[in-house]
Chains A and B, each alone.
Chain A
Amino acid sequence: MIIHHKDLTLFFQNIGLTVSEQYHDGIMANITILSAYADLIDQFPLSDREEPAAEYEPNHP
């Protein structure tokens, strides 16, 4: 997950948002944190047969 400060406006336009530039620094700080978490998940090897836990039941081992 790589998003640069200068591209924020375009990224937000893609999802129909107009976000004031005064918020961009705060948003970028959070994107940096989330990017590290997304990378951790993306790097984990999972079988193609591993299904998303969409209908989640913790009882199901």
Chain B
Amino acid sequence: MKPNINPALSALPRRSHEIPHLIRSQSLSAVTLTQHILSDIKQRDPLYNTTTRLLTQRALSYAQNIDNKVKNGVDPGPLAGIAFGIKDLFDVTGEVTTAGSKVLADAPPASQDAVLVHRLIKAGAIPVALTNMDEFAYGFATDNAHHGPTHNPHDTARLAGGSSGGSAAGIAARFFGLSLGSDTNGSIRVPASLCGVWGLRATQGRLPTQGSYPFVTSLDTVGPFADSAEGLTLCFEALTEEKLSPVTPSSLNIARLGGWFSDNMSPSMQTAFNTLANTLHATRTVHIPEIARARAAAFIISASEGAALHLDHLRHRADEFDPAVRDRLLAGALIPAPSITKAHRFRSWFRRAMHEAFNHTDILLAPAVVGEAPRFDQPLIHVNGAMISARANLGLYTQPLTLAGFPVLTLPMPSPGLPLGAQLIAKPGREDQLLALAQSLEHSGAAQARLLQP
């Protein structure tokens, strides 16, 4: 039975980027804010199931530390007082990193924070909760056999997307303004799109993965979600420990991706995406060759590396896996070695093709998913004239880009119905361009996170 609570009541008074100013000016106490947030999650999250563990003691202790710094005239940091959620594959001191599994539930607690968790805390952010995910990050649905599914806050009969679904949905539900996720094949970009929040898959290797539980080491990235483009920028600067150089968004040469990325969009996605492209004067279309093979290579590398990682667990504890994940991993264990090597060789070829696509372009646009969040009772979607698994194909537009390792920002587009996201893709290392363009679109109203109204 669902609890009788008012989903409109949220403790978060403002978007993330506005919080540090309120804390610094002592208009808001970090302890008071954090207490409200923890109580709000306890009260409302049974509706959405975005979190799996609260970090109550730690959160209140850090909040007290922030308030003390402010009182003593010490800089509390650029993210002072902003609550953040952490996908349960990042090490958090004193907590068991389960990666959403039962198999790791009896592992020893982490002895230190993952690098990204540490950097956010160092910048003044407050860790409040661990978030729900697909087991071992292998899925696009956040339908976890052990913790249950995460529900989309904008329509609880629909998926939040995955695998970092709790981190995205927790922002949409206004439990926290920032969160950490991982993106191997689209696990930040898919839930960001379905929940209507901002997300960034950074350039492969730019953000340190140390202290996060791996899935596919060749493709894994870790990164942030945020409730505003400005918050995402502040968060990225804290995660890289670098200040971004200024970029003039109007100077950027923007084109849209054609072919694979223009097929199969739902009518509402097509409308929202065309509006965005028109706003950005992206009249030129760029084609990247062999997208179907790029997606296939990402599938092969993911299934084989995931299987290799978990082979020993599968040997001894197969019954404890989420059945869907277990079947995928066991199938992956049987892929012949020549196909795996060929996929890695194809990756070299595809990387060159991606660089060529950027010869006269700074930013490429693509939809993030084919349409709005699928319903839990809607297992199939229309792709290329066939009815196929909605869950497996949520990564249709994200997975091929994974193979190249270029940075991709997911942007929430205005739309009359459920949230819809677009991908902004830049050259490696050019997150500064993505974030400058994102902020400009947010300021003009051409993009904005869709959050439950307080």
Give the size of the chain A interface in residues (CB under 8 angstroms).
38
- Complex alpha-carbon distance, A4 and B92, angstroms: 44
Partner of B338, one of A12, A26, A31, A42: A42
B residues within 8 A CB of A30?
Answer: 303, 327-328, 330-332
CB–CB B406/A58 < 8 A: yes
Which single residue of chain B is at the shortest CB-CB distance from A7? B334
Which single residue of chain B is at the shortest CB-CB distance from A53? B347
- Complex alpha-carbon distance, A20 and B203, angstroms: 40
B residues within 8 A CB of A50?
Answer: 345-346, 348-349
- Complex alpha-carbon distance, A6 and B405, angstroms: 39
CB–CB A51/B311 < 8 A: no
CB–CB A40/B293 < 8 A: yes
Given contacts A40-B293, A41-B296, A51-B345, contact A1 B336 (CB under 8 A): yes
CB–CB A38/B345 < 8 A: no
Q: Is B205 an interface residue (CB 8 A)?
A: yes
Q: Is B429 an interface residue (CB 8 A)?
A: yes
Q: Is B2 an interface residue (CB 8 A)?
A: no
Given contacts A26-B323, A30-B327, contact A58 B335 (CB under 8 A): no
Given contacts A30-B327, A41-B342, contact A61 B204 (CB under 8 A): no
- Complex alpha-carbon distance, A1 and B343, angstroms: 13
B residues within 8 A CB of A41?
Answer: 293, 296-297, 300, 339, 342-343, 346
Q: Quick one: which of B313-350 are within 8 Å of A by CB?
A: 314-315, 318-319, 323-324, 326-328, 330-336, 338-339, 341-349
CB–CB A23/B327 < 8 A: yes
- Interface residues as binary, B396-411 with A (CB distance below 8 Å gives 1, 0 otherwise): 0000000011100000
Nearest CB in chain B: distance from A55 CB, A:
10
- Interface residues as binary, A1-31 with B (CB distance below 8 Å gives 1, 0 otherwise): 1010000000110011111100100111111
CB–CB A27/B344 < 8 A: no
CB–CB A34/B346 < 8 A: no
B residues within 8 A CB of A16?
Answer: 315
CB–CB A61/B352 < 8 A: yes
Q: Is B122 an interface residue (CB 8 A)?
A: no
Q: Quick one: which of B381-405 are within 8 Å of A by CB?
A: 392, 404-405
CB–CB B296/A11 < 8 A: no
- Complex alpha-carbon distance, A11 and B330, angstroms: 11
Which single residue of chain A is at the shortest CB-CB distance from B354? A58
Q: Is B284 an interface residue (CB 8 A)?
A: no
CB–CB A31/B352 < 8 A: no
Q: What 9 pairs across the A-B complex have the smallest Cβ distances?
A: A58-B405, A30-B331, A52-B344, A26-B327, A37-B296, A53-B347, A38-B339, A61-B355, A58-B428
16 A–B contacts, CB within 8 A, in A order: A15-B311, A15-B334, A28-B331, A36-B296, A37-B297, A38-B339, A41-B343, A46-B349, A52-B345, A52-B348, A53-B344, A53-B347, A53-B348, A58-B351, A59-B429, A60-B351
- A-B contact sample (16 more), CB < 8 A, given A15-B334, A46-B346: A3-B334, A12-B334, A15-B311, A17-B333, A18-B315, A23-B323, A23-B326, A30-B331, A37-B295, A38-B335, A44-B293, A46-B342, A50-B345, A53-B218, A58-B354, A59-B429
